[in-house]
Amino acid sequence: MAQYGSQEMSAPLLKVMMRRPGASLIKADPADWNYVTPFDSAKAIAQYQGFADLIVKAGAEIIWLEDQDDGLADAMFTHDPSLMTDKGAIILNMGKLRRRDEPALHEAVYQQHQIPVAGRITGEATVEAGDCIWLDPKTLLVGRGIRTNQQGIDQLTAILAPDGISVMAFDLPLWDGEAACLHLLSVLSPLADDLVLAFLPLLPVALYKLLKQRGIRIVEAPKDEFLASNGLSLNVLPTRPSELIMLSGFPKTTAALEAAGCTVETFEGDALCIACEGGPTCLTRPVHRQAA
């Protein structure tokens, strides 16, 4: 049986690629990486361990991508450089120039673990997995914005089409500008097959209508917590349907999720996630989720 495959966003998480922050984060210039200053790398690393402990508690196997002092501070956000399908990994091409070397790190890990590469995004085309959401195993939603361009969407569509997978693209707003990137997952977080957390003011209208047509319930992210966290109150990671990991410090969001029937585990991430602009979903590249 294959030990990889993930065309779902909330099925039980069995295997995940992660990278412990280390020398690259310690030596990072916050100005270069758009991190909040003053930046406390030691606290960020300690908080990462608390997050990793929750992944282990959830029963997922972690494939470690080690920090080899390569200077790639954002590489701890393993979600973005590759996308997993049931046929293997798609190696992406990052829209953020400082992250262009990260997909090669992912490909090396996949080779080490005998996970096939199903395709690559190349040339001037860009796709970041933060802009990709599996609505169902045959439908991939993609946000077209600062980090994912039309050429990338076209290449991704061509890679997936032979397996009967449809790609639906939605334009994203600029919001706070190019540096503070808005991914599709910045405004919509799947919680279960029929449940999402969304910040409605930034959700594309066509996507809102699609969710309603599909009968998918929407938990509305409280505006004050969303804005105070630069969107990270919405960045939640399902380890199985309606069982979630999220940042602590957002009681209104937590209460809304629990009212919708979700179980929520939290960890402290002000120095790690808030300061570096990436939440628990960003910190994980699901490699294997249990098929329905």
Structure confidence by residue, pLDDT tens digits, 64-102: 999 999 999 999 999 999 999 999 999 999 999 999 999
Please tell me the total number of residues recorded for the chain in this structure. 292
Tokens 């991190």 found at: 35
Rounded CA separation 243/226 (Å): 20
Tokens 């860009």 found at: 126
Nearest to 169 by CA among 208, 195, 131, 122: 131
Structure confidence by residue, pLDDT tens digits, 53-65: 999 999 999 999 9
Q: With bands split at pLDDT 50, 70 and 90, how would you rate the model's confidence at 179?
A: low
Structure confidence by residue, pLDDT tens digits, 13-50: 999 999 999 999 999 999 999 898 889 999 999 999 99
Structure confidence by residue, pLDDT tens digits, 181-240: 689 999 999 999 999 999 999 999 999 999 999 999 999 999 999 999 999 999 999 999
Max intra-chain CA distance, the chain: 49
Burial 254-277 (b: 16+ CB within 10 A, else e): bebbeebebebbbbbbbbbbbbbb
Rounded CA separation 149/124 (Å): 9
Q: Please list, in sequence order, all residues whose beta carbon lies within 8 angstroms of the beta carbon of residue 124, skipping any fewer than 6 positions away.
A: 149, 151
Q: Which helix (H) or strand (E) holds 116?
A: none
Q: Please list, in sequence order, all residues whose beta carbon lies within 8 angstroms of the beta carbon of residue 247, skipping any fewer than 6 positions away.
A: 229, 232, 233, 235, 266, 267, 268, 269, 273, 274, 279, 280
105: three-class secondary structure by DSSP: helix
Say what the alpha-carbon torsion angle 269, 272, 277, 282 is, to the nearest 10 degrees. -80
Q: Please say if the pLDDT value at position 258 is more than 80.
A: yes
Rounded CA separation 85/7 (Å): 5
DSSP state string for 127-182: B-GGGEEEEETTEEEEEESSSS-HHHHHHHHHHHGGGT-EEEEEEPP-TT-SSS--
Q: What is the pTM assigned to this prediction?
A: 0.96
12: three-class secondary structure by DSSP: coil
Rounded CA separation 235/101 (Å): 25
Rounded CA separation 12/6 (Å): 10
Q: With bands split at pLDDT 50, 70 and 90, how would you rate the model's confidence at 292?
A: low
Tokens 């939605």 found at: 170
